[in-house]
Amino acid sequence: MHIIASGLSHKTAPIEIREALTFPEHNMGEALTSLTSLPNINEGVILSTCNRTEIYAVANDIDKGRNDLVTFFNDCYKEDCDLEEYLYFHDALAAVNHLFRVIASLDSMVVGEAQILGQVKEAYAHAFDAQTTNIVFNRLFRQAFAVGKRVRTETDIGENAVSISYAAIQLAKKVFGDLTGKSVMIVGAGKMSELTAKHLVSNGVTNVLIANRSHDKAVKMAKLFNGQAVEFENLADEMAAADIVISSTGAENFVIKPEDMKVVMSKRRYRPIFLIDIAVPRDIAPEVNDFENVYLYDIDDLQSVVDSNLAERSREAKEAESIIKIEVQNFLSWQSTLEVVPTISELRKKAESIRRGELEKLANKFNNLSDEEKNALNALTSGIINKLLHDPMVRLKESSRHKEGYLYVDALRHLFDLDEGDKEEQKQEARETVQNNVRAVKDPHGAG
């Protein structure tokens, strides 16, 4: 039994290739069923996102499994060209490692983005519903979700904003803490300021004021946010009510000058105000930043915040790699229990210890057995055990050539009680994982 993974991603294939090889949700079930009906594939999960298309499979032979996957990909591929040069392939340890790196978003276009965890959960849920997962993948994916969660909680990989508009939110939070109940003013209705305002509102900002040279446009945008359009001419007066100001007008000169700010701050009784100037040329005079309790960031400042956050993420990624290393080892040590040879020797050991125990009991009961009698008993009991175990062992070895062979190993371990831990329990847990977790994870920092 081998775990293999194959597919293509933003790292190996251009968009034209990726878009031609996708598995839309509505025929995912069908695709999964045809995947596991391949001669060498027994379990399968298909992960299809805009940046990657990957298949994880349990195969009885690495090379045959690989060929199966390539054939499968080629069958699903819409264009007429050679797909193989774009495909990567991992087996055994590398495949598990790859899955864990993917789910921890280390392989993502933006390291640390939060969506991938939800996407893998969804992919697994589809496979679970289509019954194309079994003991190996139920275990592997459950552990993968735990890895994804561990990486997010134990490292800062997803903590810091990696887009301009989210960097503005991160900074606002460093000034005000909780944004609930704060007011934002948008100066100059534009796409970028609209987006930032949207993020602010979803972070708790309740009051939205809009000032625009053309008042009609301001009124229109105010409707969008359930906000209030204010007079552009009275900017300084109106600004006093805003805790956060986003400015992006097309003006040639500064719209907010130091003398305006003086008015604003005295009206605000010097409560802190956070100014975001995303206009080029700039809207807000840079000297405004020297005022007490005024924090001004222009587009370059925001970009440098983003850059430093990206650097922080790649530092945290190293920490994540070491978590993954440990988790891969944990999984491999479980996986080794499904191998034929150790299972056979464990079964033999168990039979032998039962035989010895029974012989001892007998010897205690009849303490005048001669050596000859003892030898005869020994031979008899050994003979029974060997004969009894011979067929199951031969069958088990044979089965390892079939794709679902490891299921016999699992069944045998269960029937002869060779493991601690209940298989039913595991299956139940897998079911719960599916039910609880298939909701898309919201990305709080705009990486997705």
Partner 1 sequence: MSERLVIIFFWLAFMTYAAAFIFYLYLFFNKRQIMGVLAVSLTALGFLFHTISFGARWVSVGYIPLEGAFESYSMFAWAVVLIYLTLMWKSELKVLGAWLMPFVGVLLGISWVKYESPERLSEVVKNTWIILHVSVVFLAYAGFTIAAVLALLYLIQQRQLKKRHVNLFFRRLPALEVLDDWSNRAISMALPFMTMTIITGMIRAIKDFPSWYYDPFVISTALTWFLFGLYIALRYLRDWRGRRIAYMAIAGFASIFLIQVMKVFSGFHQFG
User: How far apart are alpha carbons 201 and 165 in whole angstroms?
Assistant: 12
Neighbours of 381 (CB within 10 A): 18
Asked whether position 304 contacts partner 1 by CB under 8 A, the answer is yes
β-partners of residue 246 are 186, 276
Min separation Cβ 268 and partner 1, Å: 9
**Do residues 97 and 138 make contact, with C-beta atoms less than 8 angstroms apart?**
no
Q: Which structure tokens are listed for 353?
A: 């210890």
Among 305, 317, 338, 409, binds partner 1 (CB under 8 A): 305
Min separation Cβ 23 and partner 1, Å: 36
Residue 298: φ, ψ to 5°: -100, 180
Asked whether position 319 contacts partner 1 by CB under 8 A, the answer is yes
Nearest Cα neighbor of 60 from 403, 407, 409 is 403
With respect to partner 1, which residue has the nearer C-beta, 29 or 444? Answer: 444
Among 74, 180, 234, 308, binds partner 1 (CB under 8 A): 308
Among 61, 237, 301, 404, binds partner 1 (CB under 8 A): 301
Q: What angle do CA 354, 358, 363 make, to 5 degrees?
A: 145
With respect to partner 1, which residue has the nearer C-beta, 309 or 433? Answer: 309
Helix (H, G, I), strand (E, B) or coil at 189: coil
User: How far apart are alpha carbons 126 and 102 in whole angstroms?
Assistant: 18
Region from 74-82, 288-296, 332-340, 405-413 binding partner 1, contact rule CB under 8 A: 288-296
Asked whether position 153 contacts partner 1 by CB under 8 A, the answer is yes
Strands 2-9 and 88-91: antiparallel
Q: Which structure tokens are listed for 254?
A: 């500064």
Task: Print the binding letters for residues 178-217 with partner 1: x by CB under 8 A, - otherwise.
Answer: x---------------------------------------
Strands 273-277 and 207-211: unpaired
Asked whether position 165 contacts partner 1 by CB under 8 A, the answer is no
Q: What is the crossing angle of helices 115-129 and 28-36, to 10°?
A: 60
- In angstroms, the Cα distances linking 22 to 51, 141, 164 are 10, 21, 30
Which of 10, 12, 29, 50 is catalytic? The answer is 50
Among 56, 297, 406, 408, binds partner 1 (CB under 8 A): 297
Residue numbers 31-50 binding partner 1 by CB under 8 A: none
**Do residues 346 and 418 make contact, with C-beta atoms less than 8 angstroms apart?**
yes
Place of tokens 């994982």: 433
- In angstroms, the Cα distances linking 382 to 29, 266, 375, 396 are 51, 97, 11, 21
Region from 28-36, 107-115, 174-182, 403-411 binding partner 1, contact rule CB under 8 A: 174-182
With respect to partner 1, which residue has the nearer C-beta, 174 or 349? Answer: 174
Place of tokens 């009051």: 207
Task: Print the binding letters for residues 73-112 with partner 1: x by CB under 8 A, - otherwise.
Answer: ----------------------------------------
Strands 183-187 and 88-91: unpaired
Q: Could you give the maximum distance between any two Cα atoms of the chain, in Å?
A: 116
With respect to partner 1, which residue has the nearer C-beta, 174 or 397? Answer: 174
Asked whether position 160 contacts partner 1 by CB under 8 A, the answer is yes
With respect to partner 1, which residue has the nearer C-beta, 175 or 192? Answer: 175
Q: Which structure tokens are listed for 339?
A: 């191998």
Region from 173-181, 197-205, 275-283, 324-332 binding partner 1, contact rule CB under 8 A: 173-181
Among 137, 225, 295, 331, binds partner 1 (CB under 8 A): 295
Number of residues that bind partner 1 (CB under 8 A): 29
Min separation Cβ 146 and partner 1, Å: 15
Asked whether position 272 contacts partner 1 by CB under 8 A, the answer is yes
Region from 82-90, 113-121, 297-305, 358-366 binding partner 1, contact rule CB under 8 A: 297-305
Min separation Cβ 281 and partner 1, Å: 19
Q: Which structure tokens are listed for 4?
A: 């293999």
Q: Which structure tokens are listed for 255?
A: 């719209």
Among 175, 299, 385, 418, binds partner 1 (CB under 8 A): 175
Q: Is 81 a catalytic residue?
A: no
Among 25, 252, 292, 420, binds partner 1 (CB under 8 A): 292
Q: Which structure tokens are listed for 202?
A: 């979803």
β-partners of residue 296 are 275
Q: Which residues are catalytic?
A: 50
User: Which residues are at the interface with partner 1 (CB under 8 A)?
Assistant: 153-156, 159-160, 171, 173-178, 269-272, 289, 292-293, 295, 297, 301, 304-305, 308-309, 312, 319
